[in-house]
Structures are given as structure tokens and as C-alpha cells.
Amino acid sequence: MRARLSSLSLAAIAAVSCFQVEPLPDCGQNAGEGGLYTPHYVCMPRAGAPLEISIAPRRLLRGDFDDEGVDNDFAVLLDLGRIQIHTTRDQKTELSAKLEAEGRVEAIAAARFFGEGHGDDLLGVTAGDKASGTAGKVFGFHNGGDMFASTAPEQFEAATLVPWGNCPAPNSIETLDVVEVENAKGLAIGCDSGPPTAEKPEEEALDGIVVEADEGVPFALQRRVGLKIPELTGIHAVNVAQLDGLGFEDIVAAHRPMDSEHESLAIYLVSKDAFTTDAEQAERLDIPLTHFEIRRVLLDDLDGDGDVDLVAVHPSDRGITVVRQRRSEPLLFEAPQFFDVGREIRDAELGDFTGDGEVDIAVAHDVEGTGLNAVSVLIRTHDLSPGQIDYALAPAGEVSGEIVDLEPLDYDGDGRIDIGAVVKVGSEGRVLFWLNRSPAGE
């Protein structure tokens, strides 16, 4: 007896194959060595070899320093007050300028502040002496179109006349922008005021400074207003965004109320009047949180309802707090939602890293039991009603060394948000970038 398979079996195979479910797209090469990869969601290969730096880095800042119109350049804040400016064209990066500020640089910001027709200028704050109450300084390097050829910065003391006070410990700086206006309209500076000093017990330090940019006025004479709130010990982790829809960007900062062990988010709604000497204290909204230590405040429309939502990063609490804004007047916010990462956080950034049109949260954190750091992505989950948010934590990749800072930028100029990171390796460091090739966005 002999038998043979025939069209019956082939038809069966074809019929059964109809039950296949088309798999979600994926980058089959697993993003290559050192890339960030989560099956079907994140695919971010490394953009070439990392940039080696001989001094330990502290901060990575994106900008458009070469006036290309794309934020694919970056500044690296190093120890000892040094700042490197790197510009990128055609995915080739070169060191364009080396800057140096006096004192310990606590924070930097990039924006067109001094004049027009050139790339971003570089601004920052340096620490004063908290013990003596000596104010820190606010400095600004002119881009000038010649890539910071004039390397000496303009600067002024972090002190205000209205109200009278010093900011000995400036900790953060952001530029205030107005929609459709290229140049920044001001600066928001956070100050860690702390308790009054022993030498000047009657003087209370500033909690923050708001500077109004005036093109015709020297930098040192820019109009500025101090923020001094009795119940606060200072604000930090400043960030700015348009919250109330009225012209100027508003300021969101973290602070720890005196009567609470937990931190809160403070929202300052900035108007033109805030910059005049007759201005009353800016309207402030407080959002108490239930966790400690806020390292960063991030702002973006997470739930897709058109309002800017708030994100607080808690390194030691190993999680992220999200506060959604209700679309209503006056400004109202939902109850905070905490998303546990489970590991000590180094930094976090917002962006659409999966390419699905939703805002995700990239988190750099420790890997327990190893000397490695890793990047995970809080991916927005599906089937949520407008205004709702939920995240699923997905590991993406590991890095050798200590991730000091993450920065979202469009490194390759393709319109998709990439991720840059500065990694500290001993007393040296490296800068590396992951290019967004996530399959959902293709």
C-alpha cells in the first residue's frame, strides 16, 4: 500500500494560516548592541560611538546653537564650571565651543536671549554662599552667530530689589517663552532659600527670581522680581510651560512646605504684571504630593486632552507622580497618580519614544545588585478614556556607568524624539544618543 499527501493537506494548511494574527511591528535586529529595545514598542539603536569626555559630566542640554532650525545640538555641563558646546550637522557632531563660568554651575538653559539672527545663547546660574547669604550669579554667554567667540559671559547677582533679597543657592533656571516669539521673554530661577542665616537672622532669602528679557537693556540690568513666600524654604526643579493660556509661560517648581514632610508642586501663573516693580506676588497654586524629594519637574500633555500635565520625579521614592490638569477654569488638577518604577531613579524625560503618538516617560535608574544603570520606558497603555492615563513599565536597555542626565532631542533631524544621555564613568564621562526607530512610528 502506498499513500501520498495531496491538495487536502495543503488546503488545510492554507485554511489554518488564516487564523494568524498579524504581529505588531518590530525591529528585528533588536536595536543593535547598546540600543534601547522593548519588543514591539521601543527600538532605539545607538547613534554611533559615544562621545568621550575627560571630565565628569553633570548635565546634558539640547539646543540649536548653530541656528540650523533643529534642536540637535547640545551642551554638556561638566564639573569645574566648564561647558562644552557641540553642534550636529548630518549626524556628525563636533565640539564647537568651550565655555567656562566662575564658580559652581548649578543649572544651564539654552534660548535666544541676546539679540536675533543667531543660534541659542547659553544661560545659567552659579551658586553663592548659603552660609553667608552671598548671592549666586546669573550668567549668559552670547552665541553671537560666531559660536560663542566672545567667551566671557555677562552676569549679575541673583538678588532682587523687589522684594529685597538674595538667592544664595540658585538651583534651576528656565527661559520663559511666548508663543510664536523666537526670543525668550524672561528667565525663571529657583532658589533654595533655607532658614535665615545666623549673621542675618532677620533676612529671608528669595525662593525664586523671575527676570524679564529686555533687548535694549544690558543683561545685568534686566528687570527682575523676587519670589519670597514665608511658608516656603525655597523652590527647585523649575520648569515652565503655558498653563493658563495667557501669553507668558507659567512656572512650575517643586518645594517642601515647612509643615509637611512631603514635597509639593507650586504653580506660578506669570503675567506681564509680574515683571513690574508694582507687581503683586504671582498667583500661586499648590499641589501637595505624597512623596519625598522631587528631582525634576516635567511638563507635557500626557493624556492628550490639550492641557499641560505635571510630572514629578522622585529618585529615592523610586517612582513618578503624574498630576493631570482638568480642562476647566480656573485651573484645576486631578489627584496625583504615582507610578512605581521600583528602582532608584537617576533622571526621567518625556517624549513619544514608541512612535504611537502618546507621550511616554523614559526613566534612567539603577540596576540593583550591579554597577549598571538602565533605561526603562513607562509606556502609555491602551483603551483609556480621554483624560485618563496609565503606564506600563518596560525595560529597554542597560548602560555601563552612572547615568547623570537624560535629554530628549531630535538628534538625527527626522522629526522623532531621540534620547541623549550623559554617563559618568569614574572621573570621566561619555555622551551617547539613542535614535528613535520605534516601529509604531513607521
**List of residues contacting other proteins (CB under 8 A):** 1-9, 12-13, 15-17, 19-21, 23-24, 38-41, 379, 381-383, 392-395
Between 368 and 383, whose beta carbon lies closer to other proteins? 383
Nearest approach, Cβ of residue 17 and other proteins (Å): 8
Nearest approach, Cβ of residue 22 and other proteins (Å): 9
With a CB cutoff of 8 Å and minimum separation 6, the contacts of 159 are 135, 165, 166, 167, 206, 226
Between 67 and 390, whose beta carbon lies closer to other proteins? 390
Written as nine digits, the cell of 175 is 527661559
| Beta carbons of 251 and 240 less than 8 angstroms apart | yes
- Torsion from C-alpha of 385, 386, 389, 392, nearest 10 degrees: 60
Nearest approach, Cβ of residue 400 and other proteins (Å): 23
C-beta neighbour count of 89 within 10 angstroms: 13
| Beta carbons of 132 and 194 less than 8 angstroms apart | no
Written as nine digits, the cell of 40 is 514591539
| Beta carbons of 143 and 122 less than 8 angstroms apart | yes
Between 6 and 54, whose beta carbon lies closer to other proteins? 6
Between 177 and 303, whose beta carbon lies closer to other proteins? 303
C-beta neighbour count of 209 within 10 angstroms: 27
Strand 154-157, strand 137-141: pairing: antiparallel
Nearest approach, Cβ of residue 24 and other proteins (Å): 6
Between 41 and 219, whose beta carbon lies closer to other proteins? 41
Nearest approach, Cβ of residue 236 and other proteins (Å): 33
Between 19 and 415, whose beta carbon lies closer to other proteins? 19
Nearest approach, Cβ of residue 148 and other proteins (Å): 43
What distance, in Å, lies between the first and last C-alpha atoms of the chain? 55
Nearest approach, Cβ of residue 38 and other proteins (Å): 6
Written as nine digits, the cell of 158 is 541673583
Does residue 43 come out as left (phi exceeding 0), alpha (psi in the -120 to 50 range) or beta? beta
Give the sign of the dihedral formed by CA 13, CA 15, CA 16, CA 21. Answer: positive
Residue 194 to residue 304: CA distance in whole angstroms: 38
Nearest approach, Cβ of residue 129 and other proteins (Å): 48
Between 17 and 54, whose beta carbon lies closer to other proteins? 17
Between 39 and 48, whose beta carbon lies closer to other proteins? 39
